[in-house]
Amino acid sequence: MLKILFFARIREELSCSGLELQWPGSRLDLYALQEQLCVEYGESWRNVLTQENMIRAVNQQVVTDNCELNDGDEIAFFPPVTGG
Amino acid sequence: MAMLENSSVTVHEADFDVAGLQRGLLSGLSEEGAIATFTGYVRRANDDRRVSTLELEHYPGMTEGSIKAIIDQAADRWPLLAASAVHRVGRLSPGDQIVWVGVASAHREAAFSACEFIMDYLKTRAPFWKKELGPFGEIWVSVRQDDESRAARW
């Protein structure tokens, strides 16, 4: 199982705070997962998930490149942060 | 990386008591010298928008972990005795306290520097997002270039 989370403006633009996906049983990397979401949910999701300033985190660590995923991973998509 | 044992990170909706937080920081120390603290408040206006409500969203778990990592990074650079950070989430009003950082060290220079470092990194690394509500409607706050450059200078 993969847990996918969306926050803030991204959550609103997708009208989705998160979803769970069955582990495909074979190798999967972050970009392939993103492509899978774009194919499954359509162009509106592609427009959001491919935004230039999108931040991606795997298991609560920001990643700046593609990376291998594992069963049980938590993947998050969110805009640049504005706390403090 | 060093782990600062005497550190705490809290994220919650409720208001906080600055004097109590400082007493808490002090009470865990085996030696004293200096405590530097920072308190951030919700602005009444931002870029000329009059803000009536600020909504703060965060990524539970990652928020706490990332601030803890920032504190540990500060402990790598300065000789810290203790550090605490508190950040509020949920609906806030102008003038409300939003964030508090306190750092204890034997000398003021380390305390001042580490406190500023933690705030600069918290603003650019910890997963919080602000939405402003007011007469203009609602708007997600965008990243301030100034915040990025402040964090980049360390």
Please report whether residue A50 resides in a domain: yes
Please report whether residue A84 resides in a domain: no
A-chain CB neighbours of B59 within 8 Å are 5, 7, 57, 60, 76, 78
CATH of the domain at A33: 3.10.20.30
B28 has pLDDT over 90: no
In this prediction, residue B30 carries a pLDDT of 84
Looking at the structure of chain A, the number of domains it has is 1
- Domains defined for chain B, CATH in brackets: 7-152 (3.90.1170.40)
ipTM above 0.85, yes or no: yes
In this prediction, residue B61 carries a pLDDT of 97
Please report whether residue A13 resides in a domain: yes
Residue % of chain B over a pLDDT of 70: 100
DSSP state of B101: E
Q: What is the pLDDT along chain A (84 residues), one digit of tens a residue?
A: 999 999 999 999 999 999 999 998 899 999 999 999 999 999 999 999 999 999 999 999 999 999 999 999 999 999 999 999
Q: pLDDT-based confidence at B2, cuts 50/70/90?
A: confident
B28 or B52, which is more confident: B52
A-chain CB neighbours of B127 within 8 Å are 7, 57, 78, 81, 83
**Residue B51: half-sphere exposure toward Cβ, Cα within 13 Å:** 23
| H or E element in which residue B72 lies | helix B62-77
In this prediction, residue B148 carries a pLDDT of 87
B-chain CB neighbours of A81 within 8 Å are 123-129, 143
Angle between helices B108-125 and B62-77 (to 10 degrees): 150
Between CA B56 and CA B43 the distance in angstroms is: 13
- Assign residue A25 a region (left: φ > 0; alpha: ψ between -120 and 50; beta: otherwise): left
Q: Which residues are within 8 A (CB) of B103 and not within 5 positions of it... i.e. 6 or more apart? A: B35, B36, B37, B74, B80, B82, B83, B110, B111, B114, B115, B118
User: For the segment B70-112, what is each residue's pLDDT rounded down to a tens digit?
Assistant: 999 999 999 999 999 999 999 999 999 999 999 999 999 999 9
Q: Which residues are within 8 A (CB) of B94 and not within 5 positions of it... i.e. 6 or more apart? A: B42, B43, B44, B51, B52, B54
Contact B59 A9 (CB under 8 A): no
Please report whether residue A83 resides in a domain: no
Please report whether residue A17 resides in a domain: yes
Residue among B24, B97, B79, B132 nearest A8 (CA) = B132
Between CA A40 and CA A37 the distance in angstroms is: 5
Summary mean pLDDT of chain B: 95
Range of the domain at A68: 2-78
